[in-house]
Amino acid sequence: MRGRRIASLLIAVALVGLAGLGPAEAQKGPIKVGFMAPTTGGAAQVGKDMVNGFQMWLDEHGGQIAGRKVEVIVEDTQGLPAVALTKLRKLVESDKVHVLAGLLFAHVGYALAPKVDEYKIPMLYPVVSADDLSQRKPAKWVVRTGWTSSQPNQPFGEYVAKTLGYKRVVTIANDYAFGWEQVAGFQRTFEENGGQVVQKLWPPLNTTDFAPYLSQVRKDADAVFAVMVAASALRFPKQFQDAGLKAKLPLIGGGTTFDEFVLPSLGDEALGGVTPLIYSAALDTPINKRFVNDYRTQFGKVPSYYSETCYTAARWIAEAAKAVGGDIEDREKYLAALRKVEIPDAPRGPIKLDQWGGTIQNIYVRRVEKKDNELWNTVIHTYPNVSQFWKYNPEEFLKQPVYDRNNPACKYC
Amino acid sequence: MARPGPLARLWAPGLALALLLVAPPFLSSFFLTLLTQAVIYAILAMSLDLVLGYTGLSSLGHAAYLGLGAYSVGILTTRHGAGFWTTLAVGVLLAVAVAAVFGLVALRATGVYFLMITLALGMVAWGLAHRWVSLTQGDNGISSVPRPAGLPFSLAGAVPYYYFALGAFVLAYLVLRTVVGSPFGRTLVGIRESESRMRTLGYHVWLHKYVGFVIAGGIGGFAGVFWAYYNGFVSPTDLELATSVETLLMVALGGRGTLVGPALGAGLIVILKNLVSVYTQRWLLILGAVYIGTIVYAPEGVVGAVRQWTTSSKGDGT
């Protein structure tokens, strides 16, 4: 009898102890973050900028988020949707990550979004900018903290027509959704402000010889608007100059044509290029100066917008985790917190999300200039708090089809 | 020694199949998805083996058929809510039709010219996927492809789909086995060994090659159907040159002209590519070393090397 009582007492004590331990034990476990970027293949260098930026924020904060240790598992997507899908499965099913971040390329982003929704694991897209991810085809569990492709170019169209005063522009852009959306965003506002796009040229992605396209450029234009990415961006400005066009036509374009990722590899041929983007390493704020300085010390190069957006994504994950008291296991609650995050002082400026999941942030119009024998994107104008819909009514904006190669149509070609 | 009997020839594939059948409970869900991927790629590699290994024609455009099958699924399911049988029929027939056209063009040439023409045709298919945006959604690809519908059983989880793909693999293997074992298949081998001799013997060489090419295309499309359902996503990267080259390497690594070899090669490459890259960023280096090692030490591939080793150890020399 007595023995039984002692036994039940012991069991009761054990049960109380377990009950008390349970949640506390869960709190102590590390937060597992899956980070996906192409660290091999053609875009490996971009992938490194992404990983470096993300890791840098965590290192600065002692590898801790909301008092919990953080374990980052980096997976290589090789820039391919099928590989990224496989790695997503691995991160979720084998590693049991709590939150995901990363990815480059729109098609990889589109491929993973439905799967992320299926897994119900929050995922941040700090770089993938395909318009429809926060417009017509949003995914519940994808939080896009980066930008939309047309976002910088809509204000820029107005800037080019009104401030730079160009009337007739030729566009030349890599022939895929990222190029189309940027050209279209630019064309729409440029033409609404009295400009005319008189010719649209579309060299394929990864084109390195632009001679056949440059020879077609209409010489009666006022400027050339170029959207180049990676391998194309490295070669385009030089060939533009060699074709004798730089002397006649100013070169303007999408942000990636002259972003900090390509600038160190370019020479004087890039000087004077005017492009808009959500970030410039030359941004003159204390927080950005510190960021650029620290990044250079650590990685020996100027941070690109890929570094900045991933750096800020790490902070984003932390801000939301703080908001839910570190309890990121409650995924619905954590997702809601992620959508509510507002960062007033990221290196690129203040950022928050609109109700469709698009970012509201500053757009910087930048001009390539030489300082201390290095090329920098000097900010010459700032459009504060720009929405993905620019000045348009969101409902009406969303009723139109997504920007495309021929939308808006080329009326003046 | 006489030719080994049917039982002796079947024990290795039989054992492999048995292992594949009992594997799922012992594997992590991640490894199971890799195995599913390997099984689907094995179908594609085996179909290429019919052209490359048995007929001796190196095609660099085989990813086109995978893409045709995959896009059939992507477009029909997301736009028209088509069921599995419709997508399978359309995918395979489309691949057959396109292979029939491509074959007319490509089989005018042999050797390196055949390689170049198939490369160009493969790029045409890729270009279509990339640029025919109204149909294929271009570079963004088609996402949210559902799992097969209209079947009497559910394929929701990873395990059922694995068995489903495994079934497709066995079916493809049996079909190809029958083809290569038939007089038609033996004629293809004859053509590979000496085209002029076969012609002198009165065989219609071109027609044999053509039919082989079309069958391979159809089975490539068959693989594409399962590939699209597996990924839930189709994009032009499925038709890229890199995919064709990878398939070619699977065949070469496993052993061309053996059917089992390419399937093994597919498994090896899929697992190397996805598993090794988890542990090291230098996985390409390892993959490269494997390729070079194969070319230097086992030019007939893994299966070729094993066969050589077993026959020579039995001491009958041939």
**B86 and chain A: CB distance < 8 Å anywhere?**
no
Res B5 pLDDT > 60: no
Residues of chain A found within 8 Å of residue B141, distances taken between Cβ atoms: 81, 107, 110-111
B232: left (phi over 0), alpha (psi -120 to 50) or beta: left
Using CB atoms, pick whichever of A39, A87, A176 lies closest to residue B138: A176
Where are the domains positioned within chain B?
34-240
Q: Give the pLDDT of residue A199.
A: 96
Given a cut of 50, whether residue A243 has pLDDT beyond it is yes
* Chain B contact for A89 (CB, 8 A cutoff): yes
Encode pLDDT of A252-294 as tens digits.
999 999 999 899 999 999 999 999 999 999 999 999 999 999 9
Tens of pLDDT, residues B230-259: 999 999 989 988 899 999 999 999 988 888
More confident residue, B3 or A122: A122
Please report the pLDDT score of residue A4 as a whole number. Answer: 55
* CB interface of A with B, residues 176-195, below 8 Å: 176-177
Give whichever of A92-96, B96-100, B254-258 has the largest mean pLDDT: B96-100
Q: Using 50, 70 and 90 to split pLDDT, how confident is the model at A160? A: very high
Q: What is the pLDDT of residue A41?
A: 79
Tell which of B143, B241, B271, B275 to mutate to test the A interface (max A CBs under 10 Å): B143
- Quote the pLDDT of residue B153: 81
Instruction: Kindly list the residues from chain B whose CB atom is less than 8 angstroms away from the CB atom of residue A404.
Output: 133
pLDDT of residue A6: 53
Q: Does the domain made of A153-282+363-399 have the CATH classification 3.40.50.300?
A: no
Inter-chain touch A110–B28, beta carbons under 8 Å: no
Q: Which of A128-132, B168-172, B178-182, B314-318 has the lowest mean pLDDT?
A: B314-318
Nearest chain B residue to A89 by CA: give it. B30
Confidence of residue B130 (pLDDT cuts 50, 70, 90): confident
Nearest-Cα distance to chain A for B144, in Å, is 6
Q: Is the dihedral of CA A320, A326, A332, A333 positive or negative?
A: negative
Q: Please tell me the distance from the alpha carbon of residue B255 to that of residue B263, in angstroms, as a whole number.
A: 9
Q: Flag whether pLDDT at B168 surpasses 50.
A: yes
pLDDT at A366: 96
Say if B274 is an interface residue toward chain A (CB within 8 Å).
yes
Q: Do A130 and B140 touch (CB under 8 A)?
A: yes
CB contact under 8 A, B283 and A40: yes
Q: What is the DSSP string of chain B?
A: -PPPPHHHHHHHHHHHHHHHHH-GGGS-HHHHHHHHHHHHHHHHHHHHHIIIIIS----S-THHHHHHHHHHHHHHHHHH---HHHHHHHHHHHHHHHHHHHHHHHTT--HHHHHHHHHHHHHHHHHHHHH-HHHH-GGG-EE-PPPP-SSSS---SHHHHHHHHHHHHHHHHHHHHHHHHSHHHHHHHHHHH-HHHHHHTT--HHHHHHHHHHHHHHHHHHHHHHHHHHHTEE-GGGGSHHHHHHHHHHHHHH-TTSSHHHHHHHHHHHHIIIIIHHH-TTHHHHHHHHHHHHHHH-TTHHHHHHHHHHHHHHT---
The single residue listed with the structure tokens 């579309």 is A202
Indicate whether A15 pLDDT > 50. no
More confident residue, A390 or B302: A390
Identify the CA nearest to B59 among candidates B220, B273, B268, B288: B220
Which candidate in B278, B280, B284, B286 is best for mutational testing of the A interface (most A CBs within 10 A)? B278
Given this model, what pLDDT does residue A288 score? 96
B211/chain A closest Cα distance in angstroms: 31
Q: Sort out which chain A residues have CB atoms less than 8 A from B37's CB and list them.
A: 82, 86
Q: Determine contact: A113 vs chain B, CB below 8 A.
A: yes
Nearest Cα neighbor of B66 from B175, B223, B243, B231 is: B223
Nearest to A177 among B140, B231, B281 (CB): B140
Chain A residues touching residue B238 (CB < 8 angstroms): 82
**Is residue A55 pLDDT above 80, yes or no?**
yes
Mean pLDDT calculated for residue range B254-266: 90
* pLDDT band for position A98 (cuts 50, 70, 90): very high
Q: Residues with Cβ < 8 Å from B165, sequence gap 6 or more? A: B36, B39, B40, B226, B230
Distance (Å, whole) CA A132 – CA B122: 30
Residues of chain B above pLDDT 70, percent: 95
Contacts of B273 in chain A (CB under 8 A): 83
Chain centroid to Cα A290, Å, comes to: 21
pLDDT for B43 beyond 70: yes
Best CATH choice for the domain A28-128+284-347 from the list 3.40.50.300, 3.40.50.2300, 1.10.10.350, 3.30.200.210: 3.40.50.2300
| ipTM summary value | 0.75
Q: What's chain B's average pLDDT?
A: 88
Distance of CA A125 to the CA centre of its chain: 7
Does A397 have pLDDT greater than 50? yes
Whether the predicted pLDDT of B2 surpasses 50: no
Provide mean pLDDT across the span A210-215: 93
Q: Which residue has the higher pLDDT, A128 or B13?
A: A128
Residue B41 has pLDDT above 60, yes or no: yes
Query: Do the chains contact at B140 and A81, CB–CB below 8 Å?
Result: no
Q: What integer pLDDT is reported at residue B165 of this predicted model?
A: 94
Task: Please judge whether A110 and B141 are an interchain contact, meaning their C-beta atoms are less than 8 angstroms apart.
Answer: yes
The predicted structure's pLDDT at residue A149: 94
Residue B30 pLDDT:
85
The 3-state DSSP class for residue A18 equals: helix
Flag if A81 and B144 touch (Cβ within 8 Å). no
Question: pLDDT tens for residues A298-314?
Answer: 999 999 999 999 999 99
Mean pLDDT for the stretch of residues A399-405: 91
- pLDDT at residue number A368: 96
Read off the pLDDT of each residue in B203-229 and give the average, rounded to a whole number.
94
Give the single-character DSSP code of A105: S
Range of lowest pLDDT (B72-86, B256-270, B304-318): B304-318
- What was the pLDDT predicted at B3? 52
Query: pLDDT by residue (tens digit) across B280-299?
Result: 777 778 888 888 888 888 88
Name the range with the highest mean pLDDT among A40-54, A152-166, A218-232.
Answer: A152-166
pLDDT at B1: 42
pLDDT of residue B8 exceeding 90: no
- CB within 8 Å: A83 and B274: yes
Tokens of A335: 């997702």
> In this predicted model, what pLDDT tens digit does every residue of A343-376 receive, in sequence order?
999 999 999 999 999 999 999 999 999 998 999 9
Residues within 8 A of A (CB atoms), B 31-70 only: 33-34, 37
Confidence band of A19 (pLDDT split at 50, 70, 90)? very low
What mean pLDDT value characterizes chain A? 90
How far B234 CA sits from the closest chain A CA (Å)?
8
Judge whether residue A230 has pLDDT over 90: no
- Tell me what pLDDT residue A320 has: 96
Search chain B and give the residue with CA nearest A401: B134
Predicted confidence band of residue A13 (pLDDT cuts 50, 70, 90): very low
Residue A282, chain B, CB below 8 Å: the answer is no
